[in-house]
Amino acid sequence: MTKLSVNINKIATLRNARGGNNPNVVKSAIDCEKFGAQGITVHPRPDERHITYQDVLDLKEVVTKEFNIEGYPDQRYLGIIDKVRPDQATLVPDGPDVLTSCAGWDTIKKKSLLTDLIAELKEYGARVSIFVDPDPKMVEGAKEVGADRIELYTEPYAVNFHEDKQKAVADYITSAQLAQEIGLGLNAGHDLDLHNLQFLKQQIPYLDEVSIGHALICDAIYYGLENTIQMYLRKLQ
């Protein structure tokens, strides 16, 4: 079974556009779980352009399934993980000035940094996943630095999917197989949607989790949040 973790950043973006508390981020998380999502993902950036520090604290009190907090591992992020103690901490390599994640970690060049960070995060009781490109060397490096899981960065797959889906997924299959062989859990995320998700799941049936935000929230505008979550869950069956 592949779990669906709904990234609710865009709910917060919409709320922040007008101030106030509409839409309500906490209620949205509760509803996502009620509608079938097996997890909630947030990425609290330093400028708080979507999820805020207070949001994370509030969500801690209501998320009953898996709580996944993404972020660049600076002292602010480490402090959040220490305070909130989420189920999963997902490390992304993009700094605070980056609009959205655009690459995975170089687990070879950043070996020393990641080894120390992951050891600290595990002291806080979190499962640690790190964002990587579909490159066997990066996957092997993730194992060496002590990660529990990798999250395959799927934007290149999504970009090339409609042109040649088999070619687009080839490197992901190779990297996923290696991860399974060496004992790494396997997540995937970024630009996954109703068009490309099912094929990815078919090619990599042992995916542990997908994290989907932007496309799912956009689809919810047309189909409604409950129906949209069910549509994504069916793609994962």
Please state, in angstroms and rounded to a whole number, the distance separating the CA atoms of residues 39 and 212.
10
Q: Rounded to whole angstroms, what are the CA distances from 57 to 79, 123, 164? A: 12, 20, 43
Residue 108's alpha-carbon distances to 82, 182, 193, in angstroms, are 26, 17, 31
Q: Which of helix, strand or coil describes residue 39? A: strand
User: Mind telling me the catalytic residues?
Assistant: 43, 70, 190
Q: Rounded to an integer, what distance in angstroms lies between the CA atom of residue 135 and that of residue 57? A: 35
Cα–Cα dist 73/69, whole Å: 11
Is residue 150 within 8 Å of 118, Cβ to Cβ? Answer: no
Q: Are 188 and 210 in contact (CB under 8 A)?
A: yes
The gap between the terminal CA atoms of the chain, to the nearest Å, is 7
Per the CB < 8 A criterion, the answer to whether 148 and 182 are in contact is: no
What's the token pair of residue 13? Answer: 């973006």
The answer to whether 32 and 40 have CB atoms below 8 angstroms apart is: yes
